[in-house]
Structure 1
Amino acid sequence: MDASWTRRRLLGASLATGAALAGGRARAATRTLNILAHRVHQNSLTTGAAGDLTQPWREANQADLAWTTFDTDPLQDRLFREASLDRTDFGVGFLVNSRATPNAARLLQPLGEYQSAAAIEEFGDIAPGLTQAMTINGQLIGIPFRHATIGLFYNEALLESRGITAPPSSLEELLDQAKRMTFRSEDGRPVTGMVLASELTVFPVTFARAFGGDFIGNNLTLVPNPEALEKGIGAMRALFEAGALPRSYATTTNDEQVTWMQQGRAAFTVLPFARHAQLNNREQSRFPGRIKAMEFPLSESLRGKEKMSSVTEFWAMSIPHNARDKELGWNFIRAMSSRAATLGAARNGNGPVRVSTYKDPGFAASQPLAEVESKALENARVPLPAFPEAARAQSIFVEEVQLAVLGRKTPKEAVAALATRVRPLLPS
Structure 2
Amino acid sequence: MMHNSKILHYMLVALVVIFSVSFGAIAQDKIELIIIGHQVHLNAASSQEPSAKGDNLIEEFEALHPNVKVVYQTYPNPKTQEKLNLLGPLNRTEEDIIHVLDPWFVPRVANFLEPLDKYLAEKPLEDYPNDYPEGLLSVTKIKDVPYAIPVRVVYNGIQWFNQKILDEIGVAYQPTVTGPELFDIAKKGTFTRSNGEKVFGYAWRGVIGSIFEIFDRWARYFGSRLITDDLKPAVNTPGTIEGLSYMQKFYQEGIVPPDVHTYEYAEEVKLFMENRSTVYDGNTSYGVTFNDPTKSNIAGAAMLTKSELPPDLQAQGPHHGSAALWSMAILKGSQKKDLAWEYIRFLASKKGALSMGLSGNTPVRVSTLNSDEYVQNNPAAQMEALVAPYAEVYWPPFDRSNEAIDLIGNYCHDVIFRGQPVQESMDQLAKELEALLP
TM-score between the two structures when normalised by the length of structure 1: 0.82
* Residue in structure 2 matched with residue 160 of structure 1 by the alignment: 167
Contact 1:92 1:319 in 2 (8 A): yes
What is the SS of the residue equivalent to 1:221? coil
Structure 1 residue 125 corresponds to structure 2 residue 131: yes
Contact 1:153 1:292 in 2 (8 A): yes
Q: What CA distance in whole angstroms lies between the structure 2 residues aligned with 1:245 and 1:294?
A: 19
* Residue in structure 1 matched with residue 147 of structure 2 by the alignment: 141
Contact 1:30 1:62 in 2 (8 A): no
Q: Bigger shift: 175-184 or 51-60?
A: 51-60
* Residue in structure 1 matched with residue 33 of structure 2 by the alignment: 34
Q: What CA distance in whole angstroms lies between the structure 2 residues aligned with 1:266 and 1:93?
A: 36
Q: What CA distance in whole angstroms lies between the structure 2 residues aligned with 1:46 and 1:279?
A: 21
Q: What is the CA-CA distance between 1:46 and the residue it aligns to?
A: 4.2
Structure 1 residue 87 corresponds to structure 2 residue 92: yes
Q: Residue deviations 1:195-227, cap 9 Å, x none?
A: 223222111100111212111232423218711
What is the SS of the residue equivalent to 2:282? strand
Contact 2:308 2:318 in 1 (8 A): no
1:173 partner amino acid: E
Q: What is the CA-CA distance between 1:125 and the residue it aligns to?
A: 1.6
Q: What CA distance in whole angstroms lies between the structure 2 residues aligned with 1:251 and 1:389?
A: 24
* Residue in structure 2 matched with residue 24 of structure 1 by the alignment: none
Contact 1:237 1:407 in 2 (8 A): no
Structure 1 residue 100 corresponds to structure 2 residue 105: yes
Q: Residue deviations 1:295-350, cap 9 Å, x none?
A: 33333333353223323223211122343343333343233322122112223443
Q: Residue deviations 1:47-104, cap 9 Å, x none?
A: 4644343567667677624424131344443444333222335443222323322222
Structure 1 residue 426 corresponds to structure 2 residue 432: no
1:163 partner amino acid: G
Contact 2:132 2:364 in 1 (8 A): yes
Q: What is the CA-CA distance between 1:30 and the residue it aligns to?
A: 12
List runs of 5+ in structure 2 lacking aligned partners.
1-26
**What are the residue-to-residue correspondences of 1:372-391 with 2, within 5 Å?**
372-391=383-402
Q: What is the CA-CA distance between 1:113 and the residue it aligns to?
A: 4.0
Q: What CA distance in whole angstroms lies between the structure 1 residues aligned with 2:264 and 2:98?
A: 30
* Residue in structure 1 matched with residue 318 of structure 2 by the alignment: 307
**What are the residue-to-residue correspondences of 1:301-340 with 2, within 5 Å?**
301-303=312-314, 305-340=316-351
Q: What CA distance in whole angstroms lies between the structure 2 residues aligned with 1:50 and 1:291?
A: 22
Q: What is the CA-CA distance between 1:410 and the residue it aligns to?
A: 2.5
Contact 2:91 2:332 in 1 (8 A): no
Q: Bigger shift: 84-93 or 349-358?
A: 84-93
Q: Residue deviations 1:358-389, cap 9 Å, x none?
A: 22112211111111123233322233333332
Q: Residue deviations 1:163-212, cap 9 Å, x none?
A: 21123532222122222223333444333321223222111100111212
Q: What CA distance in whole angstroms lies between the structure 2 residues aligned with 1:62 and 1:186?
A: 61
2:44 partner amino acid: S
Contact 1:172 1:300 in 2 (8 A): no
State the superposition RMSD in angstroms.
Answer: 3.0
With over 3 angstroms needed to count, the CA separation of the structure-2 counterparts of 1:282 and 1:221, relative to structure 1, is: same
> What percentage of residue pairs aligned between the two structures are identical?
22
What is the SS of the residue equivalent to 2:339? helix
Q: What is the CA-CA distance between 1:282 and the residue it aligns to?
A: 3.2
Q: Which of residues 338, 343, 367 is equivalent to 2:378? A: 367
Q: Which of residues 358, 362, 379 is equivalent to 1:351? A: 362
Contact 2:273 2:290 in 1 (8 A): yes
Q: Which of residues 185, 198, 214 is equivalent to 2:193? A: 185
With over 3 angstroms needed to count, the CA separation of the structure-2 counterparts of 1:286 and 1:225, relative to structure 1, is: same
Aligned pairs, number: 400
What is the SS of the residue equivalent to 1:69? strand
* Residue in structure 2 matched with residue 44 of structure 1 by the alignment: 44
* Residue in structure 2 matched with residue 203 of structure 1 by the alignment: 214
Q: What CA distance in whole angstroms lies between the structure 2 residues aligned with 1:251 and 1:47?
A: 31
* Residue in structure 2 matched with residue 18 of structure 1 by the alignment: none
What is the SS of the residue equivalent to 1:103? helix
Q: What is the CA-CA distance between 1:232 and the residue it aligns to?
A: 1.1
* Residue in structure 2 matched with residue 404 of structure 1 by the alignment: 415
Contact 1:129 1:380 in 2 (8 A): yes
* Residue in structure 2 matched with residue 173 of structure 1 by the alignment: 181
Contact 1:214 1:225 in 2 (8 A): no
2:162 partner amino acid: N
Q: What CA distance in whole angstroms lies between the structure 2 residues aligned with 1:223 and 1:161?
A: 39
2:41 partner amino acid: H
Q: What is the CA-CA distance between 1:43 and the residue it aligns to?
A: 4.5
What is the SS of the residue equivalent to 1:86? coil
Q: What CA distance in whole angstroms lies between the structure 1 residues aligned with 2:180 and 2:230?
A: 30
Q: What CA distance in whole angstroms lies between the structure 2 residues aligned with 1:294 and 1:215?
A: 23
TM-score between the two structures when normalised by the length of structure 2: 0.81
